[in-house]
Structure 1
Amino acid sequence: MQASVTVTEGHAAIRLQGRFDFNSHRDFREAVDAALASPATAITVDLAGVEYLDSSALGMLLMLRDRAKGAAREVKLAGCRNAVKQILDIANFGKLFTID
């Protein structure tokens, strides 16, 4: 998986590309650290390029949510493909995140 962070006017976007699984944890953590170190008050995780995610990816998203909440930041998930959206729905992530 590839992860990139873009920060513009109070908003950080973490864009993910590829398989989001345990092997991605270092790249994701680095992206999260960069987003949280920025002055952004809102963080969007762009999942449009993610073709697959597993339970460890769900855990990483929860870790982001907890860290962002501790830093008074809002987190939103965006661009979910059908298969990814189904997994998020099954895990009831709609109750934890705003999903666009």
Structure 2
Amino acid sequence: MAISSEMTPNGAMLKIEVSGRFDFSSHHDFRKTYEELDSKPESFLVDMKNATYLDSSALGMLLLLRDYAGGDESNIEITNCSPDIRKILTISNFEQLFAIN
């Protein structure tokens, strides 16, 4: 499981890449990507192209990111989901909370 992140040069967007299993073992690394920034970006992109698994603790981590980013006013896109991960997000009604592409 690996979490990596990259801020756009202008600091407006943080891209978080999830690889492998997205579960409780990645909790610390995931939160560290955005909580230790000098300033809060305007938007977030969570790239799941290399994620192989997602569980309920990962859903909770996404909700924590949403709270950090401004709740209902947040701008978070979850992208490159496999069919299985997209199904979990859909069943959990996350498409009402996040932009999922």
State how far apart, in whole Å, the 1-side matches of 2:67 and 2:75 are.
10
1:5 correspondence with 2:2? no
| Of 33, 41, 44, the match for 1:31 | 33
Number of residue pairs the alignment of both structures matches: 98
Aligned-residue RMSD, C-alpha: 1.6
* Structure 1 outlier segments of 4+, above 4 Å: none
Q: How does 1:31-70 map to 2 (within 5 A)?
A: 31-34=33-36, 37-38=38-39, 40-69=41-70
TM-score normalized by the length of structure 1: 0.89
**Contact 1:7–1:13 under 8 Å retained in 2:** yes
**Quick one: structure 1 residues 39 and 32, their matched pair in 2 at CA, closer, same or farther if it must change by over 3 Å?**
closer
Q: Deviations over 1:64-88 (max 9, x none)?
A: 0011016x64111111111100000
State how far apart, in whole Å, the 2-side matches of 1:47 and 1:38 are.
24
Task: Give % identity.
Answer: 44
TM-score normalized by the length of structure 2: 0.88
